[in-house]
Amino acid sequence: MIRKTLLFSFLILTCWGSFAQNGDYPIQPVAFTQVHFKDNFWLPKMQVNANVTIPYTLNQCKITGRIDNFRKAAKQIPADKSTSFTFDDTDLYKVIEGASYSLQTQKNPQLELYLDSLITIIGAAQEPDGYLYTFRTMPIQTPHEWMGSKRWEKEEDLSHELYNSGHLFESAVAHYQATGKKNLLNIAIKNADLLVKTFGWGKEERFPGHQIVETGLTKLYRVTGKKAYLDLAKFFLDLRGKEGHLNQEYSQSHKKVVDQHTAVGHAVRATYMYTSMADVAALTGDKQYLSAIDDIWHDVVDKKIYITGGIGATGNGEAFGDDYDLPNMSAYAETCAAIANVYWNHRMFLLHGDAQYIDVLERTLYNGLLSGISLSGDKFFYPNPLASYGQHQRRAWWDCACCVSNMTRFLPSVPGYTYAQNQQNIYVNLFVGGTATIQLPNTAVTLTQETAYPWQGKNDITVQPNKTSTFALHVRMPGWAMGKPLSGDLYKDETPINNIPILVNGKPFAYTLQKGYAVIKRVWEKGDKVSFTLPMDVRKVLAKDEVKADKSKFALQRGPLVYCLEGHDNTNASVMSLVLDKNAEVKATFQPNLLNGVMTLQAQGFATERQLNSEQLIKTNQPIQAIPYYAWANRGATEMTVWIPYEETAARPKPAPTIASKSKVSGSVSNQLMLKALNDQFEVQNSNDKSANYLHWWPKKNTTEYLQYDFDQSYTVSSSSIYWLDDSPWGGCRIPLSYKVYYKKDGAWLPVTVTQQSPIAKDQFNALQFEPVTTTGLKIEIQLPTDNAAGVLEWVVK
């Protein structure tokens, strides 16, 4: 079986190469099947994915009914109900894709047999003409409201029929490449043939509301050579923005794709589309596509990307925000968007051969993407914020599980981003210990990397050509090592830049620098060794002045890793209150027993704290420790921040104690993190300020709810002020219809005697004055709106 798989992998590479000659990317990736990691960073994570995450997500697909959706569509079991979302089929496809990749790293005959059984179930759910969409095919009494009364009717909005097909195609190609089996590929081809028959100019003219089918079709085209699949992918792209369709920025359908030059709307949909535009541009030579995605790329990298590589700043529509609007605590930066960002930047590199795209890819990979999964492999992030008061916790599952299954399929494919080739040129893009076999026109070459990256910068690359040959090795000189965190000026690093020497067989080599690559062209013999050391000094990265959220702050970076402060590692767990001088010395220490072994950063800073009735801050010197951002939230909820103030005006001093902050909080919600929001003394900006923690009763409507403070002692109080959550138009919370305040006396709750009350309104504290009472607690009863929930951002007592 192993020999069969290796032979098939060679055939796939040969197929890719033959297409490249007839029109494809000028640079071709070295397939993941030809790259084998043997390092202490990525290989353990891939093993956790194989041993924990894939079995876990397959089981979740079983217990949540996703597999049963297919069995119901096949009429194997009664169709009593479906799962929640019309795209739930894709979770199974994505896990099969990830499992297929993982079989290359870790052989598992039992898993392979289980995948075959799942593929049989999927095939049984497919209709005779190739249609495969369990939500319509299962004979359910109450069909899902998103899918419309007939095929494709709501495709441009919510049905996700084509989205499902796209992930089916990607999964089928991965399974075929990994195993050589056609059982899933045949199902995908049958479905794709139906799409070709159904859609096109003069036929069904609809585009996918959520892009991905275009990428799936180009992958099928590469495997089958059937040009109709490529033509259909281009049709779906070219249809966007035409009159008579659902044209909106949310799904990037507001303009023709060639007329789009800025990144807007849902970040995952957008980057999936830009990825497919790159594919179609490479395969067809469409220069208008290239011009559009080049402009969009600069728009993102110059104005809309986080230092972690995360994209999609706002939860409102899971979308790109305005230029330079990069809030940290409310950053959405969805895991799926990070994965899509890697896909897109990899394609941009294959088009242009420029290291700036791999710089974005690597930054995303090691930070905003890797943060999406726990070290244990069974807890996940959907959004990836850059600051937290402790309200963000990894979860075991979501009803909308796209990020979980996406991470499952992505991790085993990381080896495929390490190397690339073009004629007599080999590109070394990522620095990971292991071996790769690369077929050049005149010889096969085996590369062996030996490195402890990302903890250390030293790297030895042994070159083993099958025969003495002339070719060029292009070794990426990372932007972070050259004083350029990213292309453009969104982020800057003022660390002095030094040239990075490269040795060949122990002697200095006078390389040329081209598009961010050190080019080493020579006659290579077996056993030649290339050696270099990337600088691993700690860098303090600054954001452009226009990024208001990062004013007077810096982010720590060492190598490709962005760091953060977490409450677990610092004496003052309120890390938002910490200040670190811009010129402070920062040392690196590897801690093998912390977070599976990480390089930590240490410095001396100070904590800030407010005091009652005084503007002067209390400052306390203390050591500060930072950990890699990807590893945060693995030890329970606590504060975290990536951006560290170097001026005390940018810090959030620990609040002075108040009656409310010292109270025990309870109410008609059980979530303790939400209850903590009431007295955290966060300075609210407006009623839709979700940059910190908040409390809500969604999805309840038209009910009476309560909140309660039990004081630490008896106080005389006469004032209550409350700031309501109102997240219209996107959210489900509005200001309440009414509220009443009670005080505790002799074990009973009595209404206060109101002397003055402001109207119930949003975007301000609603104050209520009452006759003074001496009590050990206050309670507030809230009448929710008839058609909405309500929520609270802060509750102050005086």
Report how far apart, in Å, the C-alpha atoms of 72 and of each of 79, 134, 244 are: 5, 8, 36
Residue 252 within a domain: yes
Query: SS3 letters for 517-552?
Result: EEEEEEEECCCEEEEEECCCCEEEEEECCCCHHHCC
What number is the average pLDDT over the span 473-489? 96
Distance CA 456, CA 201 (A): 55
What number is the average pLDDT over the span 773-781? 97
Instruction: Report the pLDDT value the prediction gives residue 9, as an integer from 0 to 100.
Output: 39
Band (22; pLDDT cuts 50, 70, 90): low
Residue 540 within a domain: no
Residue 188 within a domain: yes
Neighbouring-strand partners of residue 654: 609
Band (273; pLDDT cuts 50, 70, 90): very high
64, 138: one domain: yes
Determine contact, residues 792/698, Cβ cutoff 8 Å. no
pLDDT at 691 over 80: no
172, 240: one domain: yes
Q: Which two tokens stand for residue 373?
A: 């999964």
What number is the average pLDDT over the span 619-623? 96
The burial class, CB within 10 Å (0-12 / 13-18 / 19+), for 35 is buried
63, 118: one domain: yes
Distance CA 289, CA 35 (A): 31
Instruction: Supply the range of the domain harboring residue 528.
Output: 420-476+499-533
Distance CA 602, CA 627 (A): 9
Instruction: Report the pLDDT value the prediction gives residue 8, as an integer from 0 to 100.
Output: 38
CA geometry: angle 396, 398, 403, nearest 5 deg: 90
Q: In the chain, helix, strand, coil percent, each to 5? A: 35, 25, 40
Instruction: Report the pLDDT value the prediction gives residue 433, as an integer from 0 to 100.
Output: 98
685, 785: one domain: yes
- Would you call 443 helix, strand, or coil by DSSP? coil
pLDDT in tens, 628-660: 999 999 999 899 999 999 999 999 998 889 999
Instruction: Report the pLDDT value the prediction gives residue 15, as an integer from 0 to 100.
Output: 41
Neighbouring-strand partners of residue 695: 792
pLDDT at 141 over 60: yes
Neighbouring-strand partners of residue 565: 626, 641
Distance CA 439, CA 308 (A): 34
Those residues whose C-beta lies under 8 Å from the C-beta of residue 46, and which sit 6 or more positions away, are 37, 102, 105, 411, 412, 414
pLDDT in tens, 31-67: 988 999 999 999 999 999 999 999 999 999 999 999 9
Residue 541 within a domain: no
Residue 572 within a domain: yes
Instruction: Report the pLDDT value the prediction gives residue 616, as an integer from 0 to 100.
Output: 85
pLDDT at 17 over 90: no
Q: Which two tokens stand for residue 352?
A: 């242009």
Report how far apart, in Å, the C-alpha atoms of 797 and of each of 344, 497, 658, 679, 722 are: 51, 54, 8, 9, 9
What number is the average pLDDT over the span 233-243? 96
CA geometry: angle 429, 434, 437, nearest 5 deg: 75
Amino acid at 283: L
Task: Of 751, 739, 740, 792, give the one whose Cα is nearest residue 775.
Answer: 751
Supply the Cα-derived Rg of the chain in whole angstroms.
28
Determine contact, residues 621/579, Cβ cutoff 8 Å. no
Determine contact, residues 424/470, Cβ cutoff 8 Å. yes
- Between residues 399 and 5, which one has the greater pLDDT? 399
85, 187: one domain: yes
pLDDT at 169 over 90: yes
Distance CA 349, CA 28 (A): 10
User: Positive or negative, the Cα torsion across 669, 674, 677, 683?
Assistant: negative
User: Positive or negative, the Cα torsion across 558, 562, 566, 572?
Assistant: positive
pTM of the model: 0.92
Determine contact, residues 27/421, Cβ cutoff 8 Å. yes
356, 439: one domain: no
689, 585: one domain: no
Distance CA 272, CA 25 (A): 17
Instruction: Report the pLDDT value the prediction gives residue 105, as an integer from 0 to 100.
Output: 78
Band (776; pLDDT cuts 50, 70, 90): very high
Instruction: Please tell me which of 19-28, 122-131, 687-696 the model is most confident about, judged by mean pLDDT.
Output: 122-131
Q: What is the dihedral angle through the alpha carbons of 392, 398, 400, 401, rounded to the nearest 10 degrees?
A: 100
412, 424: one domain: no
Residue 494 within a domain: no
Instruction: Report the pLDDT value the prediction gives residue 33, as an integer from 0 to 100.
Output: 86
Instruction: Report the pLDDT value the prediction gives residue 655, as an integer from 0 to 100.
Output: 87
Task: Of 27, 18, 123, give the one whose Cα is nearest residue 74.
Answer: 123
Task: Quote the mean pLDDT of the chain.
Answer: 94
For every residue of 729-771, DSSP letters joined together read TTSSB---SEEEEEEEETTEEEE--EEEEPPP-SSSEEEEEEE
Distance CA 599, CA 628 (A): 7
339, 468: one domain: no
Residue 491 within a domain: no
Report how far apart, in Å, the C-alpha atoms of 151 and of each of 133, 156, 199, 204, 483 are: 9, 12, 12, 11, 53
326, 450: one domain: no
CA geometry: angle 578, 583, 589, nearest 5 deg: 70
Domain end point (choices 620, 650, 680): 650
pLDDT at 11 over 70: no
Domain count, the chain: 4
Domain CATH for 191: 1.50.10
602, 669: one domain: no
* DSSP 8-state class, residue 266: B
Instruction: Report the pLDDT value the prediction gives residue 106, as an integer from 0 to 100.
Output: 83
Determine contact, residues 531/503, Cβ cutoff 8 Å. yes
Query: SS3 letters for 165-199?
Result: HHHHHHHHHHHHHHHCCCHHHHHHHHHHHHHHHHE
Those residues whose C-beta lies under 8 Å from the C-beta of residue 410, and which sit 6 or more positions away, are 98, 339, 342, 369
pLDDT at 681 over 70: yes
Distance CA 245, CA 205 (A): 9
What number is the average pLDDT over the span 616-623? 93
Q: What is the dihedral angle through the alpha carbons of 446, 447, 448, 454, rounded to the nearest 10 degrees?
A: -150
* 694, HSE (Cβ side, Cα atoms, 13 Å): 26
Residue 569 within a domain: yes
759, 717: one domain: yes
pLDDT at 336 over 70: yes
Domain end point (choices 400, 417, 434): 417
Task: Of 296, 305, 295, 263, give the one whose Cα is nearest residue 485.
Answer: 305
Domain CATH for 793: 2.60.120.260
Amino acid at 473: L
pLDDT in tens, 102-133: 998 788 999 999 999 999 999 999 999 999 99
